[in-house]
A and B are shown apart, each in its own frame.
Chain A
Amino acid sequence: MIHDPINAPPPEPERYELKSLPIHHFELARREFFRIFGGGLVIACFLEKGQAAQESGRGGAGFNQRLPQDIAAWLHIDEDGGVTVYTGKVEVGQNSRTALTQAVAEELHVSSGSIRMVMGDTDLTPFDMGTFGSRTTPTMSPQLRKAASAARNVLIDLAAQTWGTRRERLVAGEGEIRDPETQRAIAYKSLLKGQKLSRAIPSDDPLSPASHWTAMGNSLAKVDGKEFVTGKHTFPSDLKLPGMLFGKVLRPPSFGATLVSLDTRQAEAMTGVIVVHEGDFVGIAAPSEQAAERAIAAIQAEWKSVPQQSGKDLYEYLKKNAESQGDHDDRTPVSGSVESGLAAADQRLQATYTVAYIAHAPLEPRAAVAQWEDGKLMVWTGTQRPFGVRAELAQAFRIPEDHVRVRMPDMGSGYGGKHSGETAVEAARLARAVGRPVKLVWTREEEFSWAYFRPAGVLEVRSGVKQDGTITAWEFHNYNSGAAGIGTPYDIPNQRIEFHASKSPLRQGSYRGLAATANHFVRESHMDELAHTVKMDPLEFRLKNLKDPRLRGVFEAASTKFGWGKIRKRPAQGFGIAGGIEKGGYVATCAEVSVDGSSGQVKIVRVVTAFDCGAVVNPDQLRNQIEGATVMGIGGALFEAIEFEDGRILNGRFSRYRVPRFSDVPEIEVVLVDRKDLPSAGAGETPLVGLAPAVGNAIFDAVGIRLRSLPMAPNGINR
């Protein structure tokens, strides 16, 4: 059977109309909340001023659509003392489930084991833009702490009423309120028995300072780690619903190709196979994965391809198609005059750098299970933006957002690569056509070809330096790869820094560290070039031009641990250093490499990274993130690159696209600079940005060759 929507009536287009959300008060929603979640105490925490546009909040669909729009998260303590926290952030391997659990435990004074986090469910959790940009720790964590702190205060009030005593003498600890004078104690659950209490909290409750932390600041292990080591955890691709079919989509042979003719008779003749054809979308649903594969292979299709830019002249193309006028914002400053700075310099340098497209290649490819019931759509999918995917689905099927529920089981990572909802839309399309739940898991090849990439870029620098090492001019242009981390932390009087958007031949998007990796690679490589030009030690040269105390701090911490300037160099061995500031984190990385004389193969022997992200929430998990970022950085630094031609990805599988493996991994040492006096910044991304330039600078130190293209040595170094 073929479902053909061209001849079928359109799917209720009139029903999709934008209507402004009514204004509600939290008190109006509380009755419904308790109906759904049961009695006890519920705390809703509101957004900080100015966060609303880009962070959590902005009422959602279903239950939370009837809540005020500026709620960031809420917390519920049931009558048995169980704590459930609802946040739109998701867990993708960065261990935010654990870190946020610590945040609640800290302020509520309960064990982490009694806290359950409900994350990324568009019907249950307040709206959230998505999990990206290292925002969970700096924004969601304080929100949850405030909610927990407010809950603790309510419990103290209840205990004070119960005992008829002053609240000031009572303290919270281990899930109970205590009166130290009388040595009385009462458990939270006893206080909440039969209660239906709610509070909406302002955002200015005082929080416990990092110097007093007991739950935060500790190395709590991944809260549900046991589920993972035993294989019990249900990833999005593991889900199974009763009556579920397996979906598969026919892919065009190249990007932008359109369908000319189609013959699905053979596939339709297969037992249990249903073919779905809607315009250029051709998919099937079948009773098993194998049947789905066979059916899709049996479809005869003719496609008309359109000319596509190939990888060969990529960098010329990006330059040619760039907007001539660069973007200017806070990150791309203009100060002084580059021309006069260059005139005042003793030495001038000019260099061009390039960065290739690379793939996220999360080990779990995109996956979704979709189910329609009474015109409503439920989708379980792996995504960093459940609410974004909900909007995509609502738009694709022209239904109101409150008819769509997206749920996000903790997934097999994303690294910025799972912001979009392609698989969710495809699975929902198939499920609607066949009238049964459909599961769709992309193959590795699909993930490589039909997701999106970290942007490629061309970067140009002009600079001037005095013989004493003072930088007088800095002009920096980034074509296409992005503006994050584009500014320089060094004190340069004359600078002009511009990002130029361009036309990308490949679909591009977010990536862990995104443009900061390219911009740091170029800036820190060029800093090294300048240091060598004036014959100064690269570390000394940086410090001479740098006032920022936190960045100086990590440079000093990393170089001390590394033994910078103290280790005697052997032939073909090299040392490099690089650092920077990004997303509130301060990073410095030292690398040791060795270059094989005959093969030119580069081996990264040792990496030391010092990182300052304010008060450390979980030291071991932070080390874990820094180690992982270091290794992920090795791929993009040395050998990862997407090859493409005529709208096809040429190396879209693990046998052709090399990612870091066990044998690529150096000795990694991490120095944590724990600033208990400063707010915590996110840490999943920034530790990556110093790796590539540190390695490039070390290669130059080893063999005297300056590598200005990422990846630097996919086939070793040609001399």
Chain B
Amino acid sequence: MRGATTLLGCFMSNVTALHVNRARYPIDVDPETSLLSVLRDYLGLTGSKYGCGEGQCGACTVLIDGLPRRSCITKVGTAGSKPITTIEGLQNSTQLHPLQQAFLELDALQCGYCTPGMIVAATALLKSNPDPTEQEIIRFMEGNICRCGIYRRIIAAIQRAAKLMKEGRT
């Protein structure tokens, strides 16, 4: 099986550019390479983390076309020319994203390794559901592991960010 995909990879042409955080990055990599590895090792965007390599922990979550995706099991060839957002692309030059702000305010982190994936997944949630209930947050975020176990704080931070964003709009 591995041999077959590798062989197939030989016939596909390399990926030559990636659109990440509103910038175009010229690259030249095998389309079979994981998006996570391209982001981290080729583009130096190490905010997205490796946690399991099987899409089970959410530490590598990025947005592709606005949707949360596990970059560790996404081949860079499938991302193509779609816009990708990573944790590094959430804040603008002067201001943190409300989720980043809320995670800081409520100390919703301990070791902080899951934090980028949590925040990126939560941006997708708040985009589709600006005012989620606790149950909706739990259901949406179930695929993200915080081994330090501070899920309660993360739920509270997402709710706080939702409030900040609502206030920001009005």
- How many B residues have CB within 8 A of the partner chain? 60
Within 8 A of B (CB), among A286-320: 288-290, 294, 297
Q: Which of the listed residues A230, A415, A630 has the most CB atoms from chain B within 10 Å of its own CB?
A: A230
Task: Tell me whether B112 and A233 are in contact (CB under 8 A).
Answer: yes
Task: Tell me whether A229 and B109 are in contact (CB under 8 A).
Answer: yes
The interface residues of chain B lying within 8 Å CB-to-CB of A411 are 111, 113
| Contact status of A444 and B59, CB under 8 A, knowing A231-B88, A294-B6, A662-B137 | no
Interface status of B91 (Cβ within 8 A of chain A): yes
Interface status of A356 (Cβ within 8 A of chain B): no
Q: Which residue of B lies closest to A665 (CB)?
A: B151
Interface status of A122 (Cβ within 8 A of chain B): no
Of the residues B45, B96, B109, B152, contact of A222 by C-beta under 8 Å: B109
| Contact status of A631 and B151, CB under 8 A, knowing A226-B104, A230-B96, A653-B52 | yes
| Contact status of A663 and B142, CB under 8 A, knowing A221-B107, A231-B88, A627-B152 | yes
Task: Tell me whether B147 and A231 are in contact (CB under 8 A).
Answer: no
| Contact status of A628 and B91, CB under 8 A, knowing A222-B109, A663-B142 | no
- Chain A 389-416: CB-based contact to B (< 8 A → 1; otherwise 0): 0000000000000000000001111010
| Contact status of A231 and B59, CB under 8 A, knowing A221-B107, A361-B147, A624-B150 | no
Bound Cα distance A655, B54 (Å): 8
Task: Tell me whether A661 and B107 are in contact (CB under 8 A).
Answer: no
Nearest-CB distance from B124 to chain A (Å)? 15
Task: Tell me whether A627 and B54 are in contact (CB under 8 A).
Answer: no
Nearest-CB distance from A300 to chain B (Å)? 14
The interface residues of chain B lying within 8 Å CB-to-CB of A93 are 110-113, 148
Bound Cα distance A621, B96 (Å): 22
Of the residues B33, B53, B96, B147, contact of A290 by C-beta under 8 Å: B33
The interface residues of chain B lying within 8 Å CB-to-CB of A413 are 110-111, 113, 147-148
Interface status of B131 (Cβ within 8 A of chain A): no
Within 8 A of A (CB), among B78-136: 86-88, 90-91, 96, 100, 103-105, 107, 109-116, 119
The interface residues of chain A lying within 8 Å CB-to-CB of B159 are none
Bound Cα distance A413, B57 (Å): 15
Task: Tell me whether A662 and B138 are in contact (CB under 8 A).
Answer: yes
Task: Tell me whether B59 and A363 are in contact (CB under 8 A).
Answer: yes
The interface residues of chain A lying within 8 Å CB-to-CB of B18 are none
Interface status of B168 (Cβ within 8 A of chain A): no
Interface status of B164 (Cβ within 8 A of chain A): no
Q: Which residue of A lies closest to B115 (CB)?
A: A228
Nearest-CB distance from A384 to chain B (Å)? 12
A contact patch SS: loop
Nearest-CB distance from A668 to chain B (Å)? 6
- Chain B 146-158: CB-based contact to A (< 8 A → 1; otherwise 0): 1111111111000
Interface status of A268 (Cβ within 8 A of chain B): no
Interface status of B67 (Cβ within 8 A of chain A): no
Of the residues B6, B57, B152, contact of A665 by C-beta under 8 Å: B152
The interface residues of chain A lying within 8 Å CB-to-CB of B100 are 226, 229-230
Nearest-CB distance from A438 to chain B (Å)? 14
Interface status of A329 (Cβ within 8 A of chain B): no
Of the residues A229, A235, A297, contact of B49 by C-beta under 8 Å: A235
Nearest-CB distance from B155 to chain A (Å)? 7
The interface residues of chain A lying within 8 Å CB-to-CB of B111 are 92-93, 362-364, 410-413
Top 6 nearest A-B pairs (CB, nearest first) are: A231-B47, A93-B111, A631-B149, A412-B113, A228-B112, A231-B87
Question: Hey, which bits of chain A sit against chain B, CB under 8 A?
Answer: 92-95, 219, 221-222, 225-226, 228-235, 237-238, 240, 246, 288-290, 294, 297, 361-365, 410-413, 415, 441, 443-444, 620-621, 624-625, 627-632, 634, 653-655, 659-663, 665, 668
What are 24 A-B interface contacts by the 8 Å CB criterion?
A95-B110, A221-B104, A222-B104, A226-B104, A228-B109, A229-B96, A229-B100, A229-B103, A231-B88, A233-B112, A237-B50, A289-B37, A363-B49, A363-B57, A411-B111, A412-B49, A412-B112, A413-B148, A444-B51, A624-B107, A631-B149, A663-B138, A665-B149, A665-B151
What would 10 more interface pairs be, CB under 8 Å, given A226-B96, A361-B147, A662-B138? A235-B46, A362-B147, A412-B49, A412-B113, A413-B148, A628-B110, A628-B149, A634-B149, A662-B155, A665-B152
